[in-house]
Amino acid sequence: MQATIIENTSHNSYGFLSLSVPEEAVNDYRPGQFYMLSANNKNTYDPILRRPFAPYSVNSDRHELTFLFSIVGRGTRALADMGKDVRLSISAPLGNPFKILKGNIALIAGGVGLAPINYLAKQLIYAGANVTLYYGARNKDLLFPPFIDNKFGSFKHATPKSKQTKLVICTDDGSYEIQGFGTDLFATDVANTHFDACYAVGPKPMMRAAHDICVKHNIPLHISLEEIMACGVGACGGCMIDIKRDGKIQSVRCCTEGPAFDSKEVFF
């Protein structure tokens, strides 16, 4: 299906893209699912393959999607360079979503892992969960400026049934707020606070650290894996990973079985 760019801005090394999309692109979206976006040049068809992204926010009333992405290579550079009103091709929502749990929930977002976590937080708050978000990056410049300026991004406008939301921001080098890793701050809080579940999205070492803490404290952890994906629909086999399930090692397609997984199934 086709989408139209409403706004496309860059903040440090991040692109922030808002799209007007057909109703069917947003109606059935659930947190953790992703879209394949085409960034190809209409004359050269380059890059030919679409790229996978989880949305930062989804507005089903206005049929709008926004994406927060790191500009790392050809596809994301081309996406960041697209102007307002340009039309681009986008898939329907793909992949397996996160389970939405209630209770006291910890969210850990590393770098651009903030994108899926931001929208997940909004849904958890609507569902009545108490949410603590640990958001970290290597330094101040790698924290997403509009989120920091807004304190809690789009979901601060949610009408929470939950009693409590808490935001903990940290940087590896201490250039903004607390110095340290989000996982270390989570580990400290876990000693005094009961968490019913945790979700983490970010670099693999961060998700592994979250997994070790959650196993130690018997907290279910859900993570999202960002494998390289060529088709996003289970056709190419390019995203095969091994997981542990039902006492066996199974090879699965991350795009259709995931990208959301129980961390106990994953080899880090």
Ligand X SMILES: Cc1cc2nc3c(=O)[nH]c(=O)nc-3n(C[C@H](O)[C@H](O)[C@H](O)COP(=O)(O)OP(=O)(O)OC[C@H]3O[C@@H](n4cnc5c(N)ncnc54)[C@H](O)[C@@H]3O)c2cc1C
* Residue 170 interacting partner from ligand FES, ligand X, none (CB closer than 5 to 8 Å by kind): none
Among 48, 237, 242, 264, binds ligand FES (CB under 6 A): 237
What is the rounded distance in angstroms from the CA atom of residue 154 to the CA atom of residue 146?
10
* Residue 122 interacting partner from ligand X, ligand FES, none (CB closer than 5 to 8 Å by kind): none
Q: Does 230 bind ligand FES (CB under 6 A)?
A: yes
In the DSSP assignment, the letter for residue 250 is E
Q: Does 255 bind ligand FES (CB under 6 A)?
A: yes
Question: What amino acid is encoded at 90 in this protein?
Answer: I
Among 58, 108, 109, 115, binds ligand X (CB under 6 A): 115
In the DSSP assignment, the letter for residue 122 is H
96: exposed, middle or buried (Cβ count in 10 Å: 0-12, 13-18, 19+)? middle
Q: Does 239 bind ligand FES (CB under 6 A)?
A: yes
Q: What minimum distance in Å lies between the beta carbon of 235 and ligand X?
A: 15
What is the rounded distance in angstroms from the CA atom of residue 211 to the CA atom of residue 221?
7
Among 87, 196, 234, 262, binds ligand FES (CB under 6 A): 234
Collapse the DSSP code of 234 into the 3-class scheme (helix H, G, I; strand E, B; otherwise coil) and give the result: coil
Q: Please check whether residue 25 is in contact with residue 53, taking contact to mean a CB–CB distance below 8 angstroms.
A: no
From residue 215 to residue 234, the character string flagging contacts with ligand X as x (rule: CB under 6 A) and all else as - is: -----------xxxx-----
246: exposed, middle or buried (Cβ count in 10 Å: 0-12, 13-18, 19+)? exposed
Residues in contact with ligand FES, total (CB under 6 A)?
12
| 166, containing H or E segment | strand 165-171
- For the chain, percent helix, then strand, then coil, each to nearest 5? 25, 35, 40
What is the rounded distance in angstroms from the CA atom of residue 5 to the CA atom of residue 255?
25
From residue 72 to residue 101, the character string flagging contacts with ligand X as x (rule: CB under 6 A) and all else as - is: xxxxx-------------------------
What is the rounded distance in angstroms from the CA atom of residue 223 to the CA atom of residue 207?
7
- For residue 55, give the nearest of 40, 68, 39, 45 by alpha carbon: 68
Q: Does 231 bind ligand FES (CB under 6 A)?
A: yes
Q: What minimum distance in Å lies between the beta carbon of 79 and ligand FES?
A: 18
Q: What minimum distance in Å lies between the beta carbon of 98 and ligand X?
A: 12
Q: Does 232 bind ligand FES (CB under 6 A)?
A: yes
Q: What minimum distance in Å lies between the beta carbon of 227 and ligand FES?
A: 8
Which of the residues 33 through 72 are near ligand X (CB under 6 A)?
34, 47, 51-54, 68-70, 72
**Site residues, ligand X (CB under 6 A):** 34, 47, 51-54, 68-70, 72-76, 112, 115, 226-229, 259
**Site residues, ligand FES (CB under 6 A):** 229-232, 234-239, 253, 255
